[in-house]
Amino acid sequence: MPLTKYKAAAVTSEPAWFDLEGGVQKTIGFINEAGKAGCKLVAFPEVWIPGYPYWMWKVNYLQSLPMLKRYRENSLAVDSEEMRRIRRAARDNQLFVSLGFSEIDHATLYLAQVLIAPTGEVLNHRRKIKPTHVEKLVYGDGAGDAFLSVTATDIGRLGHLNCWENMNPFLKGLNASQGEQIHVAAWPVYPGLERRVAPDPATNYADTASDLVTPAYALETGAWTLAPFQRLSAAGLAANTPAGVAPETDPAPYNGHARIYKPDGSLAVPKPAKDFDGLLLVDIDLGESHLTKTLADFAGHYMRPDLIRLLVDTRRKELVTEADPPRGVATYSTRQRLGLDRPLDAQPGRDGRGSAEGKGELVDETAAL
């Protein structure tokens, strides 16, 4: 039975910096806390596991290398026991989980998100389409079959994006076209405008993200919008500072930026205090989006597809493909290769589906076109 009224939560907390096991334990702890509070959805920040590598904005190449090695070693694989533990926690608490994490796949990292169902199934696995500025030195680009956001669920059409993806007009338009009703705008950790140094634009500060970009997303799409943020402590500042460099001492500018907005862009809950660490709770009523979408539904009556259309290509482009002229060209599903099509508690290789690598699926690309 679809729910139109329910409780949801946005996490604003400090990650277990660069500690995979610590991050998994803290994630499960928040899932359990949200479950006890009666929530049907809990939303985590961007790359919550193993934390956002904020050092990459402040250090040089040689300083970054030891930190980058540790970061990669503590990133999370989708088809791993750590991820299965998180999925079981969602199942145990019968709620949806939007989780941001640094995904390691082969030797590349991605700014990834999964939407986990109350059954423990991963309904959506996506990767940020383009890492931002210096993030390109840490992460790769998402592929065509792993960037769509919106999923139809029992609690509404739910989407999630990472950081400045929430500012991307094309991605907002794509989500609106799918009738998104509730959105997770997942953010990392970065300072408020009090730390702004010229000529750095105001675009690159947390106040802009939380008090301008996020409510604009809610207003333009007519969707409930949860904005989970990471936090920093003095110890966290030290963890994000390379050896031999004096860390900042005041974490306050990095904190207090989590938000939840109604479909009209107004605040749904008060802004948290700088020292607040935990869950922001909100009572969702999907019926409130009727009025905003009545005025401006960019997926329907307030759009002119005969004049403006968005071309979307969800095909995966492989570095290596298998050609089989009589039957077409082999293409591969990221979801299948990572084992997300297998039951949560299935033994890899023993459920009749083979290994997570798979052999690919033959598709006649001329027919697809």
Separation between Cα atoms, residue 74 and residue 50, nearest integer Å: 6
Answer yes or no: do 245 and 143 share one domain. yes
Answer yes or no: do 228 and 268 share one domain. yes
Answer yes or no: do 290 and 331 share one domain. no
The pTM of the full predicted model, rounded to 2 decimals, is 0.92
Least confident of 160-169, 252-261, 299-308: 299-308
Answer yes or no: do 283 and 336 share one domain. no
Answer yes or no: do 71 and 185 share one domain. yes
Does 46 qualify as catalytic in the annotation?
yes
Answer whether residue 57 is part of any domain.
yes
Q: What is the pLDDT of residues 109-135, one digit of tens each?
A: 999 999 999 999 999 999 999 999 999
CATH number of the domain residue 12 falls in: 3.60.110.10
Least confident of 71-85, 231-245, 320-334: 320-334
Position 14 pLDDT exceeds 70:
yes
Question: Of 40, 128, 172, 293, which one is the catalytic site residue?
Answer: 128
Provide the residue range defining the domain that includes 359: 323-368
Does 128 qualify as catalytic in the annotation?
yes
Answer whether residue 310 is part of any domain.
no
Answer whether residue 272 is part of any domain.
yes
Q: Give the burial string for 55-87 (b: 16+ CB within 10 Å, else e).
A: bbbebeeebbeebbebbbebbbbbbbebbbebb
Question: Of 46, 82, 165, 288, which one is the catalytic site residue?
Answer: 46
Average pLDDT for the chain: 91
Position 292 pLDDT exceeds 70:
yes
Answer yes or no: do 50 and 171 share one domain. yes
pLDDT of residue 39: 98
Answer yes or no: do 34 and 141 share one domain. yes
* Residue 359 parent element (H or E): none
Chain centre distance of CA 330? 29
Answer yes or no: do 285 and 195 share one domain. yes
Answer whether residue 304 is part of any domain.
no
Answer whether residue 301 is part of any domain.
no
The answer to whether the CB of 41 falls within 8 A of the CB of 182 is yes
Answer whether residue 305 is part of any domain.
no
Answer yes or no: do 24 and 171 share one domain. yes
Structural domain tally of the chain? 2
Answer yes or no: do 259 and 360 share one domain. no
Answer yes or no: do 349 and 270 share one domain. no
The answer to whether the CB of 307 falls within 8 A of the CB of 30 is no
Once rounded to an integer, what is the mean pLDDT over residues 38-55?
97
pLDDT of residue 320: 76
Question: Of 82, 163, 262, 288, which one is the catalytic site residue?
Answer: 163
Answer yes or no: do 186 and 248 share one domain. yes
Answer whether residue 303 is part of any domain.
no
Domain boundary among 295, 315, 341: 295
Position 364 pLDDT exceeds 80:
no
Answer whether residue 317 is part of any domain.
no
